Amino acid sequence: MKTELSRTLGIEHAIFGFTPFPAVAAAITRAGGFGVLGAVRYTAPDELARDLDWMQEHTDGLPYGLDVVMPAKKVEGVTEADVEAMIPEGHRAFVRETLAKHGVPELAEGEASGWRITGWMEQVARSQLDVAFDYPIKLLANALGSPPPDVVTRAHEHGVLVAALAGSARHARRHAEAGIDVVVAQGYEAGGHTGEIASMVLTPEVVDAVSPLPVLAAGGIGSGEQIAAGLALGAQGVWLGSLWLTTTEAELHSRALTEKLLAAGSGDTVRSRALTGKPARQLRTEWTDAWDDPAGPGPLPMPLQGLLVAEAVSRIQKYEVAPLLGTPVGQIVGRMNSERSVRQVFDELTRGFERAVDRIDRIAGRSTP
């Protein structure tokens, strides 16, 4: 699975694995892929530095990257407290009522929420970059499109490639104009924030729109055969996220959530604004149903929704309240029906890729059955 981009980065397989868990990211890199650590959950620079130190010790000198969340346009002088003050009381009451309906206990006195989307705030993401550029990261990805121009310039000065996710050819062209090095064409099937175009349609559209920039196919990919399809559509690699959630290295801290993922089918996800305020594919739960119910107040825009539900999500996760318990995940969840190590996943991906290539060779008359 070598492409021009994989050779540029010095990796064996053109498989880019996004994950919030350092152990998973490091294992992806050691397996011959390219691990990308998600930074959004880090609320303090020293926390990110600690985990990047760990990555350095467990990647055998092989390359890895970082994913941040930054808006392209900078907003001056806005603090988290300012944003918190914008949340209507009616929405806070709705959260309290929904949690009470399901008997979700309060956090212990003095216990802080363990889940905060402060990473959506630009100043937090910039503090993460101040840390990250002290490490030999090879790729900086931004989940909200092109990062601000000064960030692109700074990354290039450090010899770091910049990637940005796109849900349409129009978005991809904007990335190319902004000096982005790699475009991730993320289809409708993907977990987390997605657009409305399916991967089979989106990938070749983006490839044509930004050629000769390299494109990674993302969304609904969880087998070697699907990787082969992405490369056949012109991508120079694949970007996988959901697939790693049920690996043995993942740190979900909830057996109940792991069991829900293993039991879920491809139809058990929904694009909902319940978590962050932007449409994000996630497990469908009574929590997403409550926010999507027309009788409710409806989600707030980003970043208000993320701040509003932060403590609630922490409580749901801590006490493993099954009807409300969910996570961002793509439609590929229907294939995630067993727990495997990252290495085992890679072995299955490479075998599936070989089967697909052999099948096409036979169809094309290039090999003997």
Q: What is the pTM of this model?
A: 0.93
pLDDT exceeds 60 at position 75: no
User: What tens digit of pLDDT does each residue of 26-44 get?
Assistant: 999 999 999 999 998 887 8
Q: What is the pLDDT of residue 74?
A: 55
Report which of 170, 143, 167 is spatially closest to residue 71, judged by C-alpha positions.
143
Please check whether residue 312 is in contact with residue 305, taking contact to mean a CB–CB distance below 8 angstroms: no
Under the banding of pLDDT at 50, 70 and 90, the label for residue 119 is: very low
Helix, coil or strand: residue 133: coil
Structure confidence by residue, pLDDT tens digits, 249-264: 998 878 999 999 999 9
Contacts of 228 (CB under 8 A, 6+ apart): 352, 353, 356, 357, 360
Three-class DSSP category at 244: helix
Q: What is the mean pLDDT of the chain?
A: 92
Q: What pLDDT, on the 0 to 100 scale, is given for residue 196?
A: 95
Q: Supply the DSSP symbol for 363.
A: H
What percent of the chain stands above pLDDT 90? 80
Beta-bridged to residue 70, according to DSSP, are none
CA dist 44 → 73, 157, 184, 240, 289 (Å): 23, 24, 27, 26, 32
Q: What percent of the chain has pLDDT over 70?
A: 94
pLDDT tens per residue across span 167-210: 999 999 999 999 999 999 999 999 999 999 999 999 999 999 99
